[in-house]
Amino acid sequence: MTLVDTIIREGHWNRHISLPASPGFDCVGIVVQCGENVEKAGYCALGDKVTALLEVGGNSSYISLNVNSPRIFKVPKGLDDCDACCMVSVFMTAYQALYRTWPIPRKKNMEGKKILVIEGDNAIGQALIQLLQRAGGVSCIFTTLTRYENSDFLRFLGAEPLERKTAKWLSRVKGKMDSL
């Protein structure tokens, strides 16, 4: 059970889930049957491992999924099931945060932008930095840290770490950021 599953069960999810419903927001499974369109597209085949983000049903024995959903991903060989679920959930959260901040983060919209990622050393912050790098054209990605020993890794990802205390860096970025 994930944190999202807990939030849904407690009734704090942003959408109403009709009961009865099988819980399970994240899932990993093996393809046991493919529809005609899936076979034609060559997206996946019988026996392939896939992961998906759902609102309900992830804990079911069998799930029927629409292959055109942007929430279904083929799992690379050798990747652990738990890692696959976590990776998809984390990157989807970062992706949604980017799209809610920037309605259409295409290269032309990101060109020359300076972005501040809060707590870039947590999983979602690191995913956001990587997505910003892939968007291309961003002139600078600044990030705050929860732990200073993570600064070398964040530099490796292409971000400029800022000290933990806001007073030490705020004057450097105040009024110069395109998105906070």
Query: For the chain, which domains are there?
Result: 3-91 (3.90.180.10), 102-173 (3.40.50.720)
Mean pLDDT of the 100-116 span: 69
Q: Is the pLDDT of residue 151 over 80?
A: yes
Q: Is the pLDDT of residue 180 over 50?
A: no
What pLDDT, on the 0 to 100 scale, is given for residue 161? 92
What pLDDT, on the 0 to 100 scale, is given for residue 163? 81
How many residues are present in the chain?
A: 180
On average, the pLDDT of the chain sits at 81
Q: Is the pLDDT of residue 154 over 50?
A: yes
Omega of the bond prior to 23 within 30 degrees of 0, cis?
no
Give the Cα separation of 145 and 125 in Å (integer).
10
Mean pLDDT of the 106-119 span: 76
Q: Is the dihedral of CA 166, 129, 159, 121 positive or negative?
A: positive
| Torsion from C-alpha of 125, 131, 137, 138, nearest 10 degrees | -10
Mean pLDDT of the 79-94 span: 84
Tell me whether strands 49-53 and 72-74 are parallel, antiparallel or unpaired. Answer: antiparallel
The model's pTM is 0.67
Whether residue 162 contacts residue 142, with contact meaning beta carbons closer than 8 Å, is answered with: yes
- The Cβ of residue 70 has, within 10 Å, a number of other Cβ atoms equal to 8
pLDDT band for 104, please (50, 70, 90 cuts).
Answer: low
pLDDT band for 97, please (50, 70, 90 cuts).
Answer: confident
Whether residue 129 contacts residue 158, with contact meaning beta carbons closer than 8 Å, is answered with: yes
What pLDDT, on the 0 to 100 scale, is given for residue 14? 76
Mean pLDDT of the 146-159 span: 86
pLDDT band for 159, please (50, 70, 90 cuts).
Answer: very high
Structure tokens at 106: 């295409």
